[in-house]
A and B are shown apart, each in its own frame.
Chain A
Amino acid sequence: DGGITQSPKYLFRKEGQNVTLSCEQNLNHDAMYWYRQDPGQGLRLIYYSQIVNDFQKGDIAEGYSVSREKKESFPLTVTSAQKNPTAFYLCASSRTSGRVVEQFFGPGTRLTVL
C-alpha cells in the first residue's frame, strides 16, 4: 500500500522543547517537502529536498531544521527558536509526470505547544 505517512497525528510539546515530526514515503519519489498550515493562511513552504543529502529553505524556514539521509524519509525538527510553533504540519512528495511536477500530501501532524 503506497503512500506518505506522518507520525504522530497529534503532538503536544512544552515551550522550550525541540520536537521531531516524522515523514516517510514508499512512492519512490525523489523530492519531499514540509509545509505549515494555519487557519486562513493557506500552506506555506518550510523546507524542501529534491535529492538525498540535499535540502533548501522555503519561505518560513526560521526555527526549523530538516535532514534527508534516506530517499524515503524527511524528518522535520521544530526547535525552541520557532516563536509560534502551534500549527498543522504537512509533508509532501512529488513525481514528475510528463512536463509537470505533481505533489502529493501526507495526512498531517497537529502540533500544539502548551
Chain B
Amino acid sequence: QQQVKQSPQSLIVQKGGISIINCAYENTAFDYFPWYQQFPGKGPALLIAIRPDVSEKKEGRFTISFNKSAKQFSLHIMDSQPGDSATYFCAASKNYGGSQGNLIFGKGTKLSVKP
C-alpha cells in the first residue's frame, strides 16, 4: 500500500519529442505528488508537484497529469532537449497525521534525449 510504481525504467527520446513517465500508487491517503529531477552525482531537485484536487498542472515544458480514480499520475516533457537527460523520480506523501510529509519514491526513470 505504501509503494509507488514508476515506469519505464529507461527512456530514449529524440530531441523535440515528448517524454512521458508514468507512476501509480495504492494508498488513497496520499495527497501530494511531486516529481524530482536528478543529474549524475547530484541531489534530486524538485521539478513540479500536484495535489489531487486538480487533474493537470503545467510549468513551462513540464506537465503533470493526474487521474485520481485510476490512482495514476504522469510527467510529460514537451519539446525534450538533451539538457533534460537525467533521472526522474515520482513520489507521494500524505500531509497530515503521523509521518507527515514523508515521501515515498518510485524507483526512477533514466531519460536520454538524443540530439
A interface residues with partner B (beta carbon < 8 Å): 4, 6, 31, 33, 40-45, 48, 50, 56, 58, 90, 92, 94, 96, 99-108, 110
**Minimum distance in angstroms from B88 CB to a CB of chain A:** 11
Inside 8 A of B103's CB, which chain A residues have their CB? 43, 45, 103
B interface residues with partner A (beta carbon < 8 Å): 6, 9, 31-32, 34, 36, 41-46, 49, 51, 89, 93, 95, 99-103, 105-108
Shortest beta-carbon contacts, A-B, top 9:
A101-B101, A105-B43, A42-B107, A42-B105, A100-B32, A43-B105, A107-B43, A105-B44, A108-B43
**Minimum distance in angstroms from A36 CB to a CB of chain B:** 11
Tell me whether A42 and B108 are in contact in the complex, defined as CB-CB below 8 angstroms, given that A100-B49, A101-B95, A103-B101 are known contacts: yes
Q: How far is the CA of A26 from the CA of B42 in the complex (A)?
A: 19
A104 touches B46 (CB 8 A): yes
Majority secondary structure of chain A interface residues (helix, strand, loop or mixed): strand
B107 touches A41 (CB 8 A): yes
Q: How far is the CA of A105 from the CA of B34 in the complex (A)?
A: 13
Interchain Cβ contacts within 8 Å, total number: 65
Inside 8 A of B31's CB, which chain A residues have their CB? 99-100
**Minimum distance in angstroms from B6 CB to a CB of chain A:** 8
Q: How far is the CA of A6 from the CA of B44 in the complex (A)?
A: 14
Q: How far is the CA of A108 from the CA of B99 in the complex (A)?
A: 23
**Minimum distance in angstroms from B37 CB to a CB of chain A:** 11
Q: How far is the CA of A101 from the CA of B104 in the complex (A)?
A: 13
Inside 8 A of B105's CB, which chain A residues have their CB? 42-44
Q: How far is the CA of A107 from the CA of B38 in the complex (A)?
A: 10
- Smallest CB gap from B6: residue in A: A42
